[in-house]
Structure 1
Amino acid sequence: MEKGTQRHQQGEKESMKTRKAYFYWVTKDQGSYSWFQNIMNEVTERDTNGVIEVNNYCTSICEEGDVRSVFIRMLQSLNHSKTGVDIVSGTRVMTHFAKPNWKNVYKQIAMDHYGSHVGVFYCGEVSLAEELRQLALEFTHKTETRFSFHKENFYPPDK
């Protein structure tokens, strides 16, 4: 499709337009954020219309609600309000601790985009791919929102 046109390859159907993108970066290692640190900062700077929502999760830091994570969260909030930078990721995006509650993520997206078609694009380890695929099917069947799951897996190196 040509940029800027409304034509669909089949002619009469309206082209799909992205109205909102949710990016979830989940990592065990705090140092992994450095891979995309500059890009995440640039995206948040340029996204003046709020189209892209970036979510960072670091699973090696204490579980959400743990006394230690509450303390880190407090320091994180203070630093973010002063500098605009998260102490965990080094980006403008506040980092959450533990793994995302994927069921709640799907539920919120289904509610926020009632009746829409939502593409789920996953790149990561095989173990999480199946859970996300099953949730896409589950929420497609029990809500008016349609989820299409797409994946690319990587495999951890042999030890």
Structure 2
Amino acid sequence: MWSVVDVLQEFHPFTLSSAPHHANLTLHIRAVGPWTWKLAEVYGDKASSAKYPEIYMDGPFGEAHQNWWDYEEVVLVAGGIGVTPFASILKDMVYKLHQSFKVIRTKQVHFLWTTRSQKQYEWMIDILREVEAADKHKIIKVHIFITQFKSKFDLRTIMLYMADRFHHSECGFSLFTQLRAITHFERPNFDSILQTLKKECKANVIGVFSCGSSSLSHAVERSCREMNRAPDIIFRHYYKNF
């Protein structure tokens, strides 16, 4: 069993990944220490006939990403495992889209996810596929940025990039993910992305929500401040760091 010392000396963020309408609560927990390793072992052993230990939870507590529906134009920026809270948001969007398009004030969602490799987002594919299937009005635009090849942009990477772009333009979905989401083999240029949104946006205020490393949040914040130099469209940035 876990000792009090184990619990007190280790800090692990537990991220809710289920939507409010779900009957069951799902969590994503980073296993990086003795008691979270044990937690993964106990709950991951499906063959075990032992009774699962009880878990006591307190909450709910407020969180900055919960007010995404207050904005007509929304930008969601995830870095690595920082995608987990957006998994919950996207599931909630799917549910609301199934209910009625009119229940959502938000008219356009731009979901940007930066990840090192394809393997790191395979678990998210089913969620994105469900989102795209429910999004009949196509209000959600997904861009996946794979940064693993950043320092090794060789001929192989160029060919992969060109093949995926061609397949996407011809068939309407990615060769690698089978999603409408566009795959990029680079880091996102937030200045360029926000500038493009600013030109196309019809709303006066854009809600920007980021989750990931502090460097990611700082990069998004700098770009938002740069865009806010001209007060015609305001970018409001909310962030959470892992």
* TM more than 0.5: yes
**Where is the helix percentage greater, Structure 1 or Structure 2?**
2
- 1:109 corresponding residue in structure 2: 197
Amino acid at match of 1:95: T
Q: How far, CA to CA, are the matches of 1:64 and 1:70 in structure 2?
A: 10
Contact 1:126/1:153 (<8 A) preserved: yes
- 1:74 corresponding residue in structure 2: 162
User: Residues 83, 52 of structure 1: CA spacing in aligned structure 2 closer, same or farther, 3 A cutoff?
Assistant: closer
User: Which runs of 5 or more structure 1 residues have no equivalent in the other structure?
Assistant: 1-14, 155-159
Shift of 1:92: 4.0
Structure-to-structure mapping, 1:1-159, within 5 angstroms: 16=71, 17-62=105-150, 66-77=154-165, 81=170, 84-87=173-176, 89=177, 91-114=179-202, 116-154=204-242
Q: How far, CA to CA, are the matches of 1:83 and 1:132 in structure 2?
A: 29
Q: How far, CA to CA, are the matches of 1:103 and 1:84 in structure 2?
A: 26
What does the per-residue CA deviation read over 1:96-117, in whole Å, with 9 as the maximum and x for residues that have no partner?
A: 1010111100101111115521
Q: TM-score, normalised by structure 2?
A: 0.51
Q: How far, CA to CA, are the matches of 1:134 and 1:33 in structure 2?
A: 26
Shift of 1:78: 5.9
Size of the alignment, in residue pairs?
Answer: 139
Shift of 1:67: 3.1
User: Residues 60, 115 of structure 1: CA spacing in aligned structure 2 closer, same or farther, 3 A cutoff?
Assistant: same
Contact 1:110/1:145 (<8 A) preserved: yes
User: Residues 92, 115 of structure 1: CA spacing in aligned structure 2 closer, same or farther, 3 A cutoff?
Assistant: closer
1:109 aligned counterpart, secondary structure: helix
Amino acid at match of 1:23: F
Contact 2:149/2:185 (<8 A) preserved: yes
Q: How far, CA to CA, are the matches of 2:152 and 2:195 in structure 1?
A: 20
Amino acid at match of 2:196: Q
Percent identity between matched residues is 25
Q: How far, CA to CA, are the matches of 2:219 and 2:131 in structure 1?
A: 28
User: Residues 63, 111 of structure 1: CA spacing in aligned structure 2 closer, same or farther, 3 A cutoff?
Assistant: farther
Name the Cα RMSD after superposition: 2.6
Q: How far, CA to CA, are the matches of 1:90 and 1:101 in structure 2?
A: 24
User: Which runs of 5 or more structure 2 residues have no equivalent in the other structure?
Assistant: 1-69, 72-104
Q: TM-score, normalised by structure 1?
A: 0.75
Shift of 1:62: 4.9
4+ aligned runs moved over 6 Å, structure 1: none
Amino acid at match of 1:48: K
